[in-house]
Amino acid sequence: MKEYLTKKKSASALSVELHNARQSHKSIEAFGNSIEDLMNNSTLAQSCGTMRMHKFWQNGLRDNDLRVIVKSRNHDKLKDAIRSAIDADTSRKISSSQAFHMRRGGTFNSR
Q: What is the pLDDT of residues 81-90, one digit of tens each?
A: 999 999 999 9
The mean per-residue pLDDT over the stretch 54-82 comes to 92
SS3 62: coil
User: Is residue 42 classed exposed, middle or buried when 0-12, 13-18 and 19+ CB atoms within 10 A define those classes?
Assistant: buried
How many alpha carbons fall within 13 Å on the CB side of residue 67?
12
pTM of the entire predicted model: 0.68
